[in-house]
Chains A and B, each alone.
Chain A
């Protein structure tokens, strides 16, 4: 096959195109507004999907990009959730400052944890993160004076958002709130993965040994991304608390760590939108299956997962990307994924 050299201009063009927005992205974000008009009765579910998507995004940054496995990511989600709940319980119900403080608290925990995380890989990491998650769950369980233990945290009362929008029963404010935070943190993540730092993260995922041999500061990169990921997970947990006005031990549960991993793999790790798509599919499927059969709803979920892993090893998005990147796919849907002429410069 004859290859024409892209040349230096082609090289710049290639990297430049990575940053550009694509039509499909704009379509996706416009579609997130649909629940307001199409399914206004499901805004509570929609806000929970947005929270889950944000949580999955946080895991994608460490797992999908840097290749850092975690089976205890609920630790940061739960820490953020409890922080937000306690701030409100202690008399400060303003959501935005509560959100920032919760994110900061989870980030601090993540930063401390990152010194251990950055020294290990693979199997050891699974064990460490699993153990850490269980420790935090047990700590929250036994500190029932603070957390309410198995009864959950009572007395969370949120003030209206910006002093104007009350968190209503229909989840209208909740969805707006969760969606806007999700979008903003998505923008940050998108910016991050296209930066030199993001490139180094992919290098760590692809070959940690080689990273040492080119003199990379891998450990400091891992500490940084782990902290950022913990902040985002904490923010997701805080939104859940603020929009539901309760916190239960479930936010720290191993099940939550496992679910979010499943969601990310289902959607496609390392693609930024993978966690988002995974959250939508998983949450809707769970809602629907549990409606159809409240007792055995995990059965069809299991079938769904096995099916995806068998036929779409890179997740739903990986499968879609393969179709679109094929010759015929490019002809029909290429316009959706080709870079737009303008570039965002926030």
Chain B
């Protein structure tokens, strides 16, 4: 059996008496598209924070490939290929997309330590930045300040920044959150077109998107994993209907 791209074992996290993660066991095989669903407060974003090192688990281990990364800080995890995006845009408002993505690439290549040569001298990095932006349909607006972009474009830039770090595992926290229907098509296309080498785990409330993009689905409730399976198994399961599909989102 091949080693999963990312796995967790016995992951626990409490905020005081509130259990936000309990015995989380996940194994994501390489290249799969996983959706993480569950009602609000189920601990989905907390799980992403634990996996990316933004939060420290109380117990348990996180393994990326064959390396235990539990003790590593967020930066080191990114350098090893575990990258996330944010549910609420976390961008560089006064940089334009070209600068922002070039910045991410320069950091990845350690060019960012150079302070004597102009950025424009690093043509390969700029070329790569532009091709990432083009892949996400941001080419035409690459020299406009981020804060001036349409919301949907900012969501795309979230993904562009993550892609610029050359992730092995990409965690998307509600990539389509707040995007109007008219703008969401581009976003779906972008996610569908992500390289098959990248393992993707995404949190999403839009069931249409979940069933369209995910090859497998994990359902979380109250900090625990309720169930994992194919979209068909999940939609047929009565427990899921009860806690989720039949609940707030009916």
Give chain A's interface residues, CB within 8 Å of chain B.
3-8, 10-12, 14-16, 18-19, 191-192, 194-200, 202-203, 206-207, 209-218, 220-221, 224
A217 touches B78 (CB 8 A): no
Interface 1/0s, chain B 182-206, versus A by CB < 8 A? 0000000000000000000000000
**By CB atoms of chain B within 10 A, which of A198, A214, A217 has the most?**
A214
Inter-subunit contact B83/A213 (CB<8 Å): yes
Which residue in A19, A197, A210 is a CB contact (below 8 Å) of B112? A197
Give the interface segment out of B6-14, B17-25, B140-148: B140-148
Q: In the complex, what residues of B have CB within 8 A of residue A15's CB?
A: 98-99, 102, 118-120, 126
- Within 8 Å by CB of A221, from B93, B112, B117, B165, lies B112
CA distance A61 to B117 in the complex (A): 17
Inter-chain contacts of B95 with A (CB < 8 A): 199, 202-203, 206
B74 within 8 A of A: yes
Chain A, Cβ-Cβ closest to B115: A197
Q: Which residues of B contact A (CB under 8 A)?
A: 52, 73-79, 83-84, 86, 90-95, 98-100, 102-104, 106-108, 110-120, 122-123, 125-127, 129-130, 139-143, 161-162, 164-165
For the complex of A and B, list the 3 residue pairs with the smallest distance between their C-beta atoms, beginning with the closest. A215-B78, A197-B115, A206-B92
Closest Cβ of chain B to A341, distance in Å, is 15
User: A5-B139, A11-B142 are known contacts; what are 5 more A-B pairs with Cβ within 8 Å?
Assistant: A6-B140, A11-B130, A196-B114, A203-B100, A217-B110
Chain B neighbourhood of A3, CB < 8 A: 140-141
Asked if B92 and A210 make an inter-chain contact with CB atoms under 8 angstroms apart, the answer reads yes
> Which of chain A's residues has its CB closest to B81's CB?
A215
Contact A197 B143 (CB under 8 A): no
Q: Which residue of B lies closest to A18 (CB)?
A: B120
Contact A207 B107 (CB under 8 A): no
**Nearest B-chain residue to A215, judged by Cβ:** B78
- In the complex, how many angstroms separate the beta carbon of B109 from the nearest chain A beta carbon? 9
Taking a contact as CB atoms under 8 Å apart, the answer to whether A8 and B130 are in contact is yes
Q: Report chain A residues within 8 Å CB of B162.
A: 213-214
Q: A192 CA to B113 CA in the complex, in Å?
A: 11
Is A196 touching B52 in the complex (CB atoms < 8 A)? no
| Given A18-B120, A214-B104: A196 in contact with B161 (beta carbons within 8 A) | no
Task: Point out the residues of chain A lying under 8 angstroms from B99, CB to CB.
Answer: 15, 199, 202
Q: Evaluate contact between A213 and B86: CB separation under 8 angstroms.
A: yes
Shortest B163–chain A CB gap in Å is 10
Q: Which residue of B lies closest to A344 (CB)?
A: B118
How many A-B contacts at CB < 8 Å in the complex? 152
Q: Given contacts A15-B126, A199-B103, is CB(A210)–CB(B115) below 8 Å?
A: no
Note all chain A residues with C-beta closer than 8 A to B110: 217
From residue B191, how far is it (CB to closest CB) to chain A in Å? 18
In the complex the two chains form, what is the Cα distance from A53 to B20 in whole Å?
Answer: 53
Does the CB pair B130–A213 fall under 8 Å?
A: no
Q: Is the pair A11, B98 in contact by a Cβ cutoff of 8 Å?
A: yes
Whether the Cβ atoms of B119 and A214 lie closer than 8 Å is: no
Given A5-B140, A19-B120, A212-B75: A199 in contact with B126 (beta carbons within 8 A):
no
Set of chain B residues within 8 Å of A5, measured between Cβ atoms: 139-140
**Complex alpha-carbon distance, A6 and B126, angstroms:** 13
Cα distance A217–B76 when bound, in Å? 9
Which chain A residue has the least Cβ–Cβ distance from B73? Answer: A212
B87 to chain A, nearest CB (A): 12
Q: How far is the CA of A198 from the CA of B99 in the complex (A)?
A: 11
Which residue of the partner chain, among B116, B120, B142, contacts A16 with CB atoms under 8 Å? Answer: B120
Partner of B102, one of A6, A7, A199: A199
Residues of B within 8 A of A195 (CB): 114-119
Chain B nearest CB: distance from A5 CB in Å?
A: 4
* Cβ-defined contact, B75 with A217, below 8 A: yes
Which residues of B sit under 8 angstroms from A8, Cβ to Cβ?
127, 130
A199-B102, A199-B119, A200-B107 known; A214-B164 Cβ under 8 A? yes
Given A202-B92, A213-B84, A214-B164, does the pair A196, B112 have CB atoms closer than 8 Å?
yes
Given the interface pairs A196-B112, A207-B92, A217-B113, the reply to whether A6 lies near B142 with Cβ below 8 Å is yes
A20 to B94, CA, bound (A): 20
Question: Given A14-B143, A214-B164, are A192 and B115 also a contact pair (CB < 8 Å)?
Answer: yes
- Expressed in whole angstroms, the minimum distance between the Cβ of B153 and any Cβ of chain A is 11
Contacts of B119 in A (CB 8 A): 15, 18, 194-196, 198-199
Known: A15-B120, A19-B120. A196 touches B111 (CB 8 A): yes
Residues on the B chain within 8 Å of A19, using CB: 118, 120
* B117–A203 CB distance below 8 A: no
Q: Which of A6, A197, A206 contacts B113 (CB 8 A)?
A: A197
Contact of A198 with B115 in the complex, beta carbons under 8 Å: yes
Whose C-beta in chain A lies nearest to the C-beta of B117? Answer: A195
CA distance A149 to B178 in the complex (A): 62
Inter-chain CA distance A110–B130, complex, in Å, is: 37
Q: Could you tell me the distance in whole angstroms from the C-beta of A46 to the nearest C-beta in chain B?
A: 30
Are B139 and A199 in contact (CB-based, < 8 A)?
no
Q: Is the CB of A207 within 8 A of B140?
A: no
B75 contact set on A, CB distance < 8 A = 212, 215-218
- For residue A119, give the distance in angstroms from its CB to the closest CB of chain B: 13
Task: Say how far B117's CB is from chain A's closest CB, in angstroms.
Answer: 6
Q: How far is the CB of A188 from chain B (nearest CB, A)?
A: 9
Q: A202 contacts B94, CB within 8 Å?
A: yes
Contacts of A197 in B (CB 8 A): 112-115
Structural contact, A214 and B78, CB atoms closer than 8 A:
yes
Q: For B111, what are the chain A residues with a Cβ–Cβ distance below 8 Å? A: 196
